Chain A
Amino acid sequence: GQQVQQSPTSLVLQEGENAELQCNFSTSLNSMQWFYQRPGGSLISVFYNPSGTKQSGRLTSTTVIKERRSSLHISSSQITDSGTYLCAMEQGGRALIFGTGTTVSVSP
């Protein structure tokens, strides 16, 4: 089964709304990373977040390694936030494994 589960699969927001994206891991992990993928396909690293809470502008990531979960909070969403958010985990001795993503669509 999927080692990295993301929810929801998709999300539709009105501009200005907040959102919370979830990432759950079925196995223990060393670290994880959040990425943003533009509709055109390029991948941008949002957070490298082994543990704890990090904030960058309107984005906040919280990872609890021992509970095998991470969340990405978007506050005051903007149209430019539209795209797919991917989380990925590293298990001991393994390469980065990606989830299936959450597609976010923000409308005016």
Chain B
Amino acid sequence: GPKVLQIPSHQIIDMGQMVTLNCDPVSNHLYFYWYKQILGQQMEFLVNFYNGKVMEKSKLFKDQFSVERPDGSYFTLKIQPTALEDSAVYFCASRGQGAHTGQLYFGEGSKLTVL
């Protein structure tokens, strides 16, 4: 089936450093999402993105977070600077139909550990 690829699968960084998480969405999909899951806790929505713009974001999407997809390449989540509470698994998702219709396809997640 359709695949969403995430790179890296795991990253360890020091607090205050910058990190970029990369997502290669399903080909021809137009709507992209990031979710955050702290170990053992609920999956929580961060942001969704379409046509070069943030469409919707949650309270968890702090000012230190940014997303972009330059020239149809990776859809990225950048955190600058990182904080201890940013340690979590970040899941990317994409869908091809309207922003709120059709199935979401998720990647395997990028585990971020902030020391």
Within 8 A of A (CB), among B44-86: 44-45, 48, 56, 58
A20-56 CB contact bits vs B (8 Å, 1 = yes)?
A: 0000000000110101000001111100100000000
Compute how far the CA of A104 lies from the CA of B114 in the bound complex, rounded to whole angstroms: 30
Q: Interface size bucket, B side?
A: 20 to 34
Within 8 A of B (CB), among A42-72: 42-45, 48
Which residues on A sit within 8 Å (CB–CB) of B37?
A: 41
A92 in contact with B100 (CB, 8 Å): yes
Contact B103–A33 (Cβ < 8 Å): yes
B103 and A100 within 8 A (CB) = no
Write out the residue numbers on chain B whose beta carbons fall within 8 Å of the beta carbon of A30. Answer: 100-101
Q: Would A43 and B106 be within 8 Å (CB), given that A94-B56, A98-B42, A98-B44 are in contact?
A: yes
Cα distance, A3 to B74, chains bound together (Å): 32
Q: Does B21 contact A (CB under 8 A)?
A: no
Cα–Cα, bound, A35→B103 (Å): 11
Say how far A22's CB is from chain B's closest CB, in angstroms: 17
Could you list which residues of chain A lie within 8 angstroms of chain B, going by C-beta atoms?
Answer: 30-31, 33, 35, 41-45, 48, 86, 88, 90, 92-101
Interface residues of B (CB under 8 A from A): 33, 35, 37, 42-45, 48, 56, 58, 89, 91, 93, 100-106, 108-109, 111
